[in-house]
Structure formats: C-alpha cells, structure tokens
Amino acid sequence: METKLALITGATSGIGKATAFKLAESGYDLIITGRRVKLLMDLEILIQRNYKRRCLSLNFDIRNSKELDTAMNKLPSDWRKIDLLINNAGLALGLDPIHKGDLSHWEQMIDTNIKGLLQISKIVLQGMVERKSGHIINISSIAGKEAYGNGSVYCATKHAVEAITKSMRIDLLPFGIKVSSVAPGMVNTEFSTVRFGGDRAKAYATYNGLSPLTADDIAETITWIATRPKHVNINDVLIMPTAQANAFNTYRKSE
C-alpha cells in the first residue's frame, strides 16, 4: 500500500508534536511546520531516525501569508501529494474581560487560529480536490462549543473553526474529502504558558488538583480518526479530562 503523507501545523510542541510521533508510528510520512526552527529540525531528525519515515520541516509563521505561500509553493514534487492535513497551530493570549482586551493579542489569535488555518487549507485542498481524496482534521476546543468569560476572542476563533469545519465538509462532499474536528478540554501543553505570557506559575495553576488530558491523548484520537476506513468520517470529537465536565465545571482535589 502507498505510504500516506500528513502535514501537521504547529508541530514544535504539545498536541502537534505528539501527533507527529503517533502518525509516524502508524506509517505516515510527515511535513511538520512551526516558527521555532531548532525544534522543527530536532523533531525531523527524531522522526527519520526512530520511525524510519520521511519527514520535512517547513519553517514559517502561519500568520504571514507570503511566507506560507512561498513555503508551500517550494515543496518538492514528491512532497506535494498531501493526504492528511492537521490544522493544529493555534494559541490563546490573555484571559481578560472584553473591555480590557489587548488588540495585538486579538489580532494574533485571529490571524493564527482562523486566517492561517483557512489559507493553508485552501493551498492543500487544490491537490486534494484534483485527486478527489484527502482528509482535513481541524483542532477546535471546548472553547469552540461554549463561550466563557474573559475568553471572548479565543472562544470566537474556535467557534469560527467549528463553523469553517461544517462548511468545508459540505463544500468538499462532491470530492470525497473527509473533514473532522477534535475539540479538547484542558490539555497540559505549552498552551497555558503561552496564554499567560510565560508565567509558569499561573500556567501550572490551571491544572491544579486535577489530571488534565495529555498531548498523547489527543494525538491518539487524531490518529484513530485518520485511520478509519475510507467510507467512515468522524465528524466531531469532544474530548475532556474526566475532572472537567464542560468549560465551567471542574472537580479539583482541594475542592
């Protein structure tokens, strides 16, 4: 059987990195992307050495449409048949009421979580549509299902991911292209450290007294979705830590 090729955005840490390992283990060749070039190079070598899979790093900021376009246009011909796109690159910045929000944070979240996802999807879809096959898995969030206070713009971006996923699925129906969404609750990655501007104590407190999901939990789910038979599409997975019922209710050991 022909080896499949997956492109994972935001593979330098957390869910993206764990997914790179799991997909490589399942036999996928990989294109991995992110801004931190050293982390990309390290991962590329690990995947090649430990899993004997082809792996290519693309170093660009997904907010920069020119950089993204150039990187994708320069792909060598044997890296162009992308079977699986994992739209994972994303972030939250800040946790503030709307009237105290930071405009540059808002722009960064919108440009990464929505516009970046849209642009790379459009590029990758050219080939998928032509070949009438492919699979896109968008990483949403519990914040795409519910809106919580102090998170208006992050929640809005993930609600947008949910809407884009549903519309994409309709647009791509005639081409047999699968579109799936994975919406996790709390996952212990660099996410909270990024959200709180590098404040590790604050990030750590997010998971105080409970066991959050791990990046591996989500990677396993993504890999399961990607490896269903051709006639089966998993539309939507909402996956939570057992100690988190929804965006608002958690059970912590100290409670």
Residues forming the site for ligand NDP (CB under 6 A): 10-16, 34-36, 61-63, 88-91, 112, 139, 141, 184, 186-187, 189-191, 194, 215
Nearer to ligand NDP, 34 or 151 (CB): 34
Task: Report the DSSP beta bridge partners of residue 139.
Answer: 182
Instruction: Give which of 13, 19, 8, 30 is closest to 85, Cα–Cα.
Output: 8
Each residue 232-251 as x (binds ligand 8X3 by CB under 6 A) or -, in order, gives ---------------x----
Stretch that binds ligand 8X3, among 28-36, 50-58, 120-128, 138-146 (CB under 6 A): 138-146
> Is residue 153 involved in binding ligand 8X3 (CB under 6 A)?
no
Instruction: Give which of 89, 112, 113, 86 is closest to 182, Cα–Cα.
Output: 86
Task: For residue 159, give both structure tokens.
Answer: 């609600």
By CB under 6 A, the residues from 181 to 240 that bind ligand 8X3 are 186
Task: For residue 109, give both structure tokens.
Answer: 């979240």
Least distance from C-beta 49 to ligand NDP, angstroms?
A: 20
Catalytic residue check, 207: no
Which one of residues 13, 57, 141, 221 is an interface residue with ligand 8X3 (CB under 6 A)? 141
Phi, psi of 108 (to 5 degrees): -65, -40
Stretch that binds ligand 8X3, among 17-25, 28-36, 135-143, 207-215 (CB under 6 A): 135-143
Of 28, 51, 148, 154, the catalytic one is: 154
Q: What does 134-184 look like in DSSP terms, one character per residue? A: EEEEEE--GGGTS--TT-HHHHHHHHHHHHHHHHHHHHTGGGTEEEEEEEE
CB atoms within 10 A of CB 237: 17
Number of chain residues interacting with ligand 8X3 (CB under 6 A) = 5
Task: Report the DSSP beta bridge partners of residue 236.
Answer: 181
Mind telling me the catalytic residues? Answer: 154
Binding region for ligand 8X3 (CB under 6 A) = 141-143, 186, 247
